[in-house]
A and B are shown apart, each in its own frame.
Chain A
């Protein structure tokens, strides 16, 4: 167990490889209760969210969720997050565990409109059921019609008689659901899902598999792949920056960077030899150190060694080769298309 933002989190239960394969072929259950949740309420809730986030929550309908981010005025990343719209005057933001306090202060310090902002992280548990067998396992436990919920939509209902927000979202690249539960009912739900899932090959999955799964799907990890030193455009998150919106924090800097062109880009790469690139290994282009691997690991699904790194924009196109310093040697790597893995039954 490793301490993670105040939580004791299992890195693995039965082994990262077994858990990873189970999620790709059957199902895995993750306890991600460490994530933070903020309730934003009031007639001004949407105004506040539109001001502090870069995607546009005005495009959401009731029961819809959106991937978004908060930017600093110079365009770098405060955090990435999910925005849930319950109704026009009630939203929920889901933020990274390590950033809960920072984000809460940031939002409050920019709350010019007096929306009500409440940190409800301690009251909410989050369980993620992910993998192709998810619906088979979960449907008998809830009246929410899971097949009718589109990707990035959610419903309020109950699971095993516990109140839940049932959200068709995840961080693995598989179909799946995330269940927001009352903290005191989560254990009951966790155990009940296991009983229901045993015959489908469901396994508990830890932070280790969560990391290898999300890397294959190229979901970025805050603190590794982007942070307060990298802009959203450099990180390849321009698709969640909505310049049509007249005002949001970071807009001017990001617009300027877009017009001038980004100088470096986050790319996906694979190693050409057997060496494994790990987080923080230095990256070299033409013998010059240009940065480091932000995330690197063996891809269990693809049987290749993959990673993410920032490269100078002129050296970041698909097929370009560069080097990663693996201990005492320079190992060759090649920029590849991402995501590394995409499930076939993509709806």
Chain B
């Protein structure tokens, strides 16, 4: 189920790396836990973050959750569509619901992230 070209954080963000660029969003598990998403606050292109820093927040009807960047980098693009249609995060968390694209500062930083398989186990364990 979970796309196997993604890496995951314990905070339920995903990262897809293509060359030096990384696309970031939240997992299907996270969107289900949050429920109907009504607002997402994203950084501006050009902003730089260190691995693990908060880069924005996502709000559902019932809760707010901070977003943590999986790896260090500079924001090169944000998903403008989410401003008018944040529900895309619920509908297609790994596709149209992507949040930001970054240029990675260091492509060797991914060691702490989980593979899709490891992430599925991680949320299984958390449920038990």
Closest A-chain residue to B57, C-beta based? Answer: A327
Question: With A16-B36, A276-B38, A276-B39 known to touch, is A298 a contact of B57 (CB < 8 Å)?
Answer: no
Assess A278 versus B64: contact at CB under 8 Å? Given A15-B35, A208-B35.
Answer: yes
For A276, list chain B residues within 8 Å (CB).
38-39, 59, 64
Query: In the complex, A20→B38 CA distance in Å?
Result: 14
Helix, strand, loop or mixed for chain B's interface? strand
- In the complex, whether B126 has a CB less than 8 A from a CB of chain A is no
What is the total of A-B residue contacts with beta carbons within 8 Å?
36
Chain B interface size, under 10 / 10 to 19 / 20 to 34 / 35 or more = 10 to 19
Within 8 A of A (CB), among B21-75: 35-36, 38-39, 41, 57, 59, 61-64, 66
Task: Say yes or no: A208 contacts B61, CB within 8 Å.
Answer: yes
Q: What CA separation (Å) do A211 and B62 show in the bound complex? A: 9
Check if B61 sits within 8 Å of A212, measured CB to CB. Answer: yes
Please indicate the chain A residues that have their CB under 8 angstroms from the CB of B61 in the complex: 16-17, 20, 208, 212, 297-298, 300
Contact A15 B36 (CB under 8 A): yes
A270 to chain B, nearest CB (A): 15
Chain A residues with Cβ below 8 Å from B36 are: 15-18
Chain B minimum-CB-distance residue to A298: B38
- Specify which of A16, A208, A274 is in contact with B39 (CB 8 Å cutoff): A274
Chain A residues packing against B (C-beta within 8 Å) = 11-12, 15-18, 20, 208, 211-212, 274, 276, 278, 297-298, 300, 327
Chain B residues engaging chain A, CB cutoff 8 angstroms: 35-36, 38-39, 41, 57, 59, 61-64, 66
